[in-house]
């Protein structure tokens, strides 16, 4: 086997292995579809204040329960 035939055989083997790898990886020649970035939700100042007040009330309830126990 001369050098040209050997290089040709190696190239064909590489191509075959790349095809097998693409099939195993789930690639069918198309670019992978990415997910859309998550939409950022902005919370209003009023909503943050209500959540903060509710959390403070929960902490106060726990603190009161500890004092009585």
pLDDT digits (tens, 9 = 90+) for 52-69: 999 999 999 999 999 887
Is 14 inside any structural domain?
yes
Is 20 inside any structural domain?
yes
* CA distances to 32, 51, 55 from 43, in Å: 33, 11, 16
Tell me the whole-structure pTM to 2 decimals: 0.41
Task: Print the domain residue range for 11.
Answer: 1-28
pLDDT digits (tens, 9 = 90+) for 14-30: 999 998 888 887 765 55
* Side-chain-side CA neighbours of residue 1 (13 Å): 6
Is 51 inside any structural domain?
no
Compare 52 and 34 and report the one with higher pLDDT. 52
Domain count of the fold of the chain: 1
């Amino acid at each position: 086997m001369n050098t040209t035939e050997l290089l040709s055989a190696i190239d064909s083997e590489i191509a075959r292995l790349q095809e097998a790898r693409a099939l195993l990886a789930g690639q069918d020649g198309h670019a992978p579809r990415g997910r859309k970035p998550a939409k950022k939700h902005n919370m209003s100042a009023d909503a943050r204040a209500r959540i903060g007040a509710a959390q403070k009330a929960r902490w106060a309830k726990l603190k009161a329960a500890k004092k009585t126990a």
